[in-house]
Structure 1
Amino acid sequence: MDEVWKDIEGFEGYYQISNLGRVKSLPRKILKNNGVEQTIKEKIKMPTKNDRGYYSVRLCMGGDCKTVKIHTLVAKAFIPNSKNLNEVNHIDGDKSNNCVTNLEWFTRVDNIQHAFDNGLNSTIGEKNPRSILSEKDIINIRLKRNNGENLKDVYEDYKDIISISGFRGIWNNQTWKHIQIGECYYDKNNLPC
């Protein structure tokens, strides 16, 4: 694939992103604090990897600096987003592969589901080391809720292991969002809806 470069929105004339996921600073003249003009040469920027495995670069213009994720820059520049989706998914699950052919716009739910289906997110649900409930517990709670049972009655079975506020978060779909009864988000083990 040939490398194609486009201006980064908001940093036109300063930085460009390529369809292969590389970022470069563009040649330009700047005025230093001491009043001396300096020429900046074109340079490929070296990305840094954050604690979640995403690569980002720091972009500066007019004294303002911003750290941005590479995959988001590629998607904004090269992938139409007619549905106005808010997240970018790595199709192969490799966060270092920021090539345009490996990226797609997704909803938050679809992105979580993709990670869940492909075993990419080890911190979600019962895989989270702080989790005290299993996915079967969550399904059971939500089924009881959908069957019209009372929150306080169902909570009686869990009061020794989880606080009422934590339980309400599960009951109201504020936590464990990847498990939705009726939409089969949880169906990693072919569980029935």
Structure 2
Amino acid sequence: MEQHRILTPWLDTDLADIDGEEWRDIRGYEGAYQVSSYGRIKSLARHDRLGRFVRARIRRLSFHPQGFTTVGLRQDGLENSYAIMLLVGNAFLTKQHPDQIYMHRNKNQLDNRVANIQVGTWAESHSLDLALGKKTSRTPTLVAYQQQRAAQHLEQFGIRQQGQLSAKTCPVCLVAQPLTAYYKNHHRCKACYLQKLGIKSVGKLAASQALGEQGLRKCSKCKQIKPFADFGNSKRNAFGKQYACKACQKV
């Protein structure tokens, strides 16, 4: 019977201590709840806020859909749910840095004995997952997946000259256009993207976009149309961006 209690303490609600079990107060709930070195939660004998006597008992744990156990602790009429690993770690272990986390040595999220919990980093937790076969190094991350999709798109729609990307084919209008016709990290051309958003270019904006497709821009001071190379960095004021050519900036 004692061996069964040691192996599955998260199922044990017997008020008697397990062999070698140590109890400590839960931070913020002193005098009301304690956590043990086996990951059990005890509700202490006390009088509640209405003056009623509450007997001591071992709390039943809840199972989170992600596989770990939690418990609800009530104070001043409000109940908050906590992961058992967090309660054990805060009571028995010490973090040396705010970025450190608690993790299970054997990656069994039900085994919240203090001997099975250690302080480490996310990188160390991931390395432990790889060592125990919980994850594989081939598991794609979101960034790697996005980079892979972008490379596949450029391979299919990119147009290269002398080995360098010079233009792309919009997958919507199927028109090959220079890179200036695309927003950064966008696959659709600017016209198709704005059409998707329901935005129509009129007046000065339409004229500016037409010039931009030809690699030209109108100076906001001398009003002359010049190539992009004749312009420096733009300046923003209360009326928006102002593009002055390098010659006008020197004046």
Would you call these one fold, judging by a TM-score over 0.5?
A: yes
Matched, 1:76 2:76: no
**Matches of residues 1-193 of structure 1 in structure 2 within 5 Å?**
2-32=20-50, 37-121=51-135, 125-126=139-140, 138=144, 156-157=154-155
Q: Normalising by the residue count of structure 1, what TM-score does the alignment of the two structures yield?
A: 0.61
RMSD of the alignment, in Å? 3.2
Aligned residues: 139
Identity %: 23
Which sections of structure 2, spanning at least 5 residues, go unmatched? 1-18, 158-184, 187-251
Q: What do residues 117-144 of structure 1 show as CA deviations (whole Å, max 9, x unaligned)? A: 322258x934x9xx8x9xxxx49x59xx
Q: Normalising by the residue count of structure 2, what TM-score does the alignment of the two structures yield?
A: 0.48
SS in structure 1 opposite 2:86? helix
Q: What do residues 20-79 of structure 1 show as CA deviations (whole Å, max 9, x unaligned)? A: 1100111110243xxxx3100111001111111101100011112110011111111111
CA distance in 2: counterparts of 1:157 and 1:64, whole angstroms: 57
Q: Name the CA shift for 1:15/1:47 in 2 (closer, same or farther; >3 Å).
A: same
Q: What do residues 85-141 of structure 1 show as CA deviations (whole Å, max 9, x unaligned)? A: 44211101111110000000121222233223322258x934x9xx8x9xxxx49x5
CA distance in 2: counterparts of 1:58 and 1:158, whole angstroms: 53
CA distance in 1: counterparts of 2:121 and 2:156, whole angstroms: 32
Letter in 2 for 1:45: R
Q: Name the CA shift for 1:51/1:30 in 2 (closer, same or farther; >3 Å).
A: same
CA distance in 2: counterparts of 1:157 and 1:117, whole angstroms: 36
SS in structure 1 opposite 2:124? helix
CA distance in 2: counterparts of 1:24 and 1:158, whole angstroms: 62
CA distance in 2: counterparts of 1:38 and 1:153, whole angstroms: 67
CA distance in 1: counterparts of 2:118 and 2:133, whole angstroms: 18
Contact kept, 8 Å, 1:85 with 1:105, in 2: the verdict is no
Q: What do residues 149-192 of structure 1 show as CA deviations (whole Å, max 9, x unaligned)? A: xxx77861387xxxx58xxxxxxxxxxxxxxxxxxxxxxxxxxx
Structure with more relative contact order (C-alpha pairs < 8 Å, separation 6 or more): 1
What is the Cα deviation at residue 81 of structure 1? 1.6
CA distance in 2: counterparts of 1:158 and 1:11, whole angstroms: 60
CA distance in 1: counterparts of 2:71 and 2:115, whole angstroms: 20
CA distance in 2: counterparts of 1:121 and 1:50, whole angstroms: 20
Q: 4+ runs of 1 displaced by more than 6 Å?
A: none
